[in-house]
Structure 1
Amino acid sequence: MSEKKHFHFVGICGTAMGSVAVAMKRKGFVVTGSDANVYPPMSDFLRGEGIELTEGYRAENIPAGADAIVIGNAISRGNEEAEATLDRRLLYVSLPEVMKEHFLRGRRNFVVSGTHGKTTTSSILAWLFLSAGRNPGWMIGGIPKNLGRGANFPDSEFNVLEGDEYDTAFFDKRSKFLHYLPEVAVVNNIEFDHADIYDHLDEIKLTFKRLLNVVPRNGRAVINGDDQNCLDIIAKAPCPITRVGLGEANDLKITDIIYDKDRSSFKLDGVAYSIRMPGEFNVRNAAMAVVAGGLGGLTEDEMREGLESFDGIARRQEVRGEVRGVKVVDDFAHHPTAIRQSIEAIRQQHPDGKLWVIFEPRSNTTKRKIFQAELADCLAGADVAIIPDLSEPEKIPLEDRLDPALVAAAVEGGRGRHIATVDEIVSVVSSEVASGDIIAVLSNGGFGGIHQKLLDRLA
């Protein structure tokens, strides 16, 4: 693939696709691309780099001289450009394959994986390297405030990659992280998720075992030693293992945790660190990043300074605004464990007000009834928990579909409410909140612009 000159990206406006496309252009390749929705800021970024964009998917978008077609993870059979690629017997590759060939081979790649905390841990780790002057490349699913963009590939010795267990492309059902040539693999935790591609937890554990199978003997896996599912995958791992956690059996122990309103302090193997983020899960995220950073040659002082200057990630307990004493907080949580942890962290930051939690079941997993009981349990941490109707419910078979009304009814203490639409939620909540209250919106999507609608109505 290295001798190919012209790459056409199908689905180019995704964060990772667009960033890799620009990095390829900067390496001297001819790059074109198309997407169903071409809009700023990604469209401006791409065009500013001289990349020709086409809106909409059509067979004629594929240039006659294209050497390789990069097909994004969101593209499925039936897409006109994917079908034309197959019909014409063109060379097609996935984004992880392009990354592996052009940006990862021969480099020191730090892959951060797990059901929860991938974005935060990889963002912290990338910032630790960057703030210490190591100029890393990175690819992260969120927008770290210190880094300004989700992906960047300079000519660097180091890469930090958020390692997703989701599948690679319609033609490659292996997990994306299996392509990333890890020197260090971080496994934060393992739970059941992605019900659209995995049938049960054992399938997920198998793909994590495969990740450890590609970590070299001179690399290392850093795993959560307090998580039994993580312990299960290391039994026959061929790579060195470091277990990190609170329990006595860990190789590196987290101790002396202190929580303040906007800060968490801890010791790792007796060395003190502090981060301006709340909650035990962020202590664990920071500790995993510190262990990985140490494996990359960073000193304790460099990492301590990096943690202190880390500003967090967009959509992670982010205050979107305050009107009449009511704060609206945005958070990405969408799995029961993450929801529970986010509610605890938001309460730590805002201990005095009444906490309203509005949760949108949007992911392929939470729209299914797999977590019917667990969602009710985790939402019980709110003073009021609101859940709307499912968006596009027809995509989930009726017998597998979550029932939001039943979830709301099962929230302990009668604190759950099922309110069907965004506009109805905005109307009800804005009329009942009082100064000092916190409205936490938990969703992995845009949720109909509910954050701004709440702020506007409150104003």
Structure 2
Amino acid sequence: MAPGLPTAMDRPHFIGIGGAGMSGIAKILAQRGAQVAGSDAKDSATADALRALGATVHIGHAAGHLADDASCVVVSSAIREDNPELVRAAELGIPVVHRSDALAALMDGLRPIAVAGTHGKTTTTSMLAVSLTELGREPSYAIGGDLDAPGSNALHGEGDIFVAEADESDRSFHKYAPEVAIILNVELDHHANYASMEEIHESFETFVGRIVPGGTLVISADHEGARDLTRRLDGSVRTVTYGEAEDADVRVLSVVPQGLKSEVTVELDGNPLTFTVSVPGKHYALNAVAALAAGAALGVPAAELAPALAAYTGVKRRLQLKGEASGVQVIDSYAHHPTEMTADLEAMRAAAGDGRILVLFQPHLFSRTRELGTEMGRALALADASVVLDIYPAREDPIPGVTSELIIDAARAAGADVTAVHDKAEAPEVIAGMAKPGDLVLTMGAGDVTDLGPHILDRLSK
């Protein structure tokens, strides 16, 4: 039986309740019986899903949205100090809780699996949530994306396992104490918070140090940043490596593409095991192997978990098919880091056959573009043609001299066919006008470029 409601969070107020991480915690608290309230900048299907659970969701931020009897105010690192609800909380003396502390409290008394890494966290967490549910384990989970419907990013389950996406961007994953931790890869990202790879490695070392005594670290044997991290560890934590490397504890023997699926064979405890991954791309196959190794470390028989992993058919924004019109498929990709962009484009190349790959890319964050714009441009050279939008700022203020032109120039230098579009409303017309039957169109980026998929399909159908 899962634990109940932390008493300090029986009447929580969430600032930014519609966000991927925040909404998941709010949903679990509502399912555990809390009187949840909160606000968000705009209305959304996620807000509606929370209202269906009994939550009060205000649109816009105002001091009056915060009830005087709120037991705490939950914030993420994106909330600024001058937010009127945060200012009001200070006036009323209401405790302010970071979302990572709230999530850590929800894990108390359970057996947590925390999924970390620069890329692939949402997919791997989702794979574990779906496969463990398929096996009747009734896990609780908190994911940074929706599985199959708005608001499906989190669930309060009756089992003893809690699967959580562990975010390194603001070091909030230091708050968790997992029984099993997964580290998929380690790269320099989130440049507003990390100045060097040394700081990244130190942060991940701290996360590893949070694994409970007797727990297990599951970590990639292929990714150089992960191997560097493994070499830095003192050996006090049981470590299971996975991947194609010959020295991997769970070794991937083959990944065979089968259309939009893959057949994966691994060697586990000296025995071969073959299973299906129902999404395309080697990087997703390796995510599934990480999930398999983590479940086995928690005591779930691998022979049962492997076929259950096939029940995972994708998560929103992770190579999600949005529809098809006039012989053109429109697919949504959350990729916003060059490594992710490259992996998704390579996966789509394998699935496209004779068709072309066209990308509508929206850079995410000024700081990331400043540091990785050249690499983003080189990644776009893997597409047959691309349209690049202006930078989606998210939580950041503009940086002088940092624009999408950094990416466009690098892409053209790499021989790519790139078109700049500064008015987002014009982009669907431009990209649809380039498409021919048999092509794949990807909307790519972590911002609101995802909203353009339906408009592209509408333009294609005319």
Fold in common (TM above 0.5)? yes
Cα distance in 1 between the residues matched to 2:64 and 2:150: 37
Tell me the percent identity: 28
Q: Residues 180 and 458 from structure 1, CA distance in 2 versus in 1: closer, same or farther, beyond 3 angstroms?
A: same
Cα distance in 1 between the residues matched to 2:255 and 2:52: 46
**Following TM superposition, by how much is the alpha carbon of 1:182 offset from its aligned partner in structure 2, in angstroms?**
0.7
**Following TM superposition, by how much is the alpha carbon of 1:337 offset from its aligned partner in structure 2, in angstroms?**
0.8
Which residue of 1 is the match for residue 373 of structure 2? 372
* Map 1:431-446 → 2, pairs under 5 A: 431-446=433-448
Cα distance in 1 between the residues matched to 2:387 and 2:264: 34
Which residue of 1 is the match for residue 165 of structure 2? 162
Which residue of 1 is the match for residue 261 of structure 2? 263
Q: Residues 50 and 256 from structure 1, CA distance in 2 versus in 1: closer, same or farther, beyond 3 angstroms?
A: closer
Q: Residues 274 and 191 from structure 1, CA distance in 2 versus in 1: closer, same or farther, beyond 3 angstroms?
A: same
Q: Residues 416 and 27 from structure 1, CA distance in 2 versus in 1: closer, same or farther, beyond 3 angstroms?
A: closer
Cα distance in 1 between the residues matched to 2:380 and 2:127: 28
**Following TM superposition, by how much is the alpha carbon of 1:338 offset from its aligned partner in structure 2, in angstroms?**
0.7
2:344 pairs with 1:342: yes
2:52 pairs with 1:36: no
Q: Deviations over 1:288-312 (max 9, x none)?
A: 0110111222223322321222211
Which residue of 1 is the match for residue 89 of structure 2? 85
Query: 3-state DSSP class of the match of 2:350?
Result: helix
Q: Residues 250 and 419 from structure 1, CA distance in 2 versus in 1: closer, same or farther, beyond 3 angstroms?
A: same
Cα distance in 2 between the residues matched to 1:57 and 1:224: 42
* Map 1:63-82 → 2, pairs under 5 A: 63-82=67-86
Q: Deviations over 1:424-446 (max 9, x none)?
A: 44333333322212212212122
**Following TM superposition, by how much is the alpha carbon of 1:146 offset from its aligned partner in structure 2, in angstroms?**
9.1
**Following TM superposition, by how much is the alpha carbon of 1:402 offset from its aligned partner in structure 2, in angstroms?**
4.9
| Structure 2 counterpart of 1:136, from 130, 135, 139 | 139
Q: Residues 257 and 53 from structure 1, CA distance in 2 versus in 1: closer, same or farther, beyond 3 angstroms?
A: closer
* Map 1:217-256 → 2, pairs under 5 A: 217-234=213-230, 235-237=232-234, 238-256=236-254
**Following TM superposition, by how much is the alpha carbon of 1:313 offset from its aligned partner in structure 2, in angstroms?**
1.3
Amino acid at match of 1:369: R
Amino acid at match of 2:62: R
Amino acid at match of 1:132: L
Cα distance in 2 between the residues matched to 1:228 and 1:264: 24
2:19 pairs with 1:14: yes
Query: 3-state DSSP class of the match of 2:147?
Result: coil
Cα distance in 2 between the residues matched to 1:333 and 1:437: 19
Q: Residues 156 and 117 from structure 1, CA distance in 2 versus in 1: closer, same or farther, beyond 3 angstroms?
A: same
Q: Deviations over 1:354-378 (max 9, x none)?
A: 2212211123444x22123212221
More off after superposition, 216-225 vs 449-458? 449-458
* Map 1:71-220 → 2, pairs under 5 A: 71-101=75-105, 103-145=106-148, 149-167=152-170, 175-220=171-216
Cα distance in 2 between the residues matched to 1:27 and 1:419: 46
Query: 3-state DSSP class of the match of 1:395?
Result: coil
More off after superposition, 57-66 vs 252-261? 57-66
Cα distance in 2 between the residues matched to 1:49 and 1:338: 34
**Following TM superposition, by how much is the alpha carbon of 1:198 offset from its aligned partner in structure 2, in angstroms?**
1.6
Cα distance in 1 between the residues matched to 2:247 and 2:450: 46
Q: Deviations over 1:119-153 (max 9, x none)?
A: 11111111121111100000111112399700112
Query: 3-state DSSP class of the match of 2:348?
Result: helix
Judge conservation of contact 1:409–1:417 (CA < 8 Å) in 2.
Answer: no
Q: Residues 356 and 161 from structure 1, CA distance in 2 versus in 1: closer, same or farther, beyond 3 angstroms?
A: same
Which residue of 2 is the match for residue 62 of structure 1? 66
Judge conservation of contact 1:190–1:230 (CA < 8 Å) in 2.
Answer: yes
Give aligned pairs, total: 448
Q: Residues 383 and 218 from structure 1, CA distance in 2 versus in 1: closer, same or farther, beyond 3 angstroms?
A: same
2:32 pairs with 1:27: yes
Cα distance in 1 between the residues matched to 2:253 and 2:178: 28
Query: 3-state DSSP class of the match of 1:317?
Result: strand
**Following TM superposition, by how much is the alpha carbon of 1:322 offset from its aligned partner in structure 2, in angstroms?**
1.7
Amino acid at match of 1:316: R
| Structure 1 counterpart of 2:331, from 311, 329, 332 | 329
Q: Residues 323 and 33 from structure 1, CA distance in 2 versus in 1: closer, same or farther, beyond 3 angstroms?
A: closer
Cα distance in 1 between the residues matched to 2:123 and 2:338: 18
Query: 3-state DSSP class of the match of 1:111?
Result: strand
Judge conservation of contact 1:20–1:153 (CA < 8 Å) in 2.
Answer: no
Two-structure CA RMSD over aligned residues (Å): 2.4
Query: 3-state DSSP class of the match of 1:329?
Result: strand
Amino acid at match of 1:136: P
Cα distance in 1 between the residues matched to 2:289 and 2:200: 24
Which residue of 1 is the match for residue 420 of structure 2? 418
Q: Residues 122 and 22 from structure 1, CA distance in 2 versus in 1: closer, same or farther, beyond 3 angstroms?
A: closer
* Map 1:448-459 → 2, pairs under 5 A: 449-459=451-461
Judge conservation of contact 2:366–2:399 (CA < 8 Å) in 1.
Answer: no
Which residue of 1 is the match for residue 359 of structure 2? 357
Q: What 5-or-longer segments of structure 1 have no aligned partner?
A: 168-174
**Following TM superposition, by how much is the alpha carbon of 1:245 offset from its aligned partner in structure 2, in angstroms?**
1.2
Q: Residues 439 and 7 from structure 1, CA distance in 2 versus in 1: closer, same or farther, beyond 3 angstroms?
A: closer
Cα distance in 1 between the residues matched to 2:408 and 2:421: 8
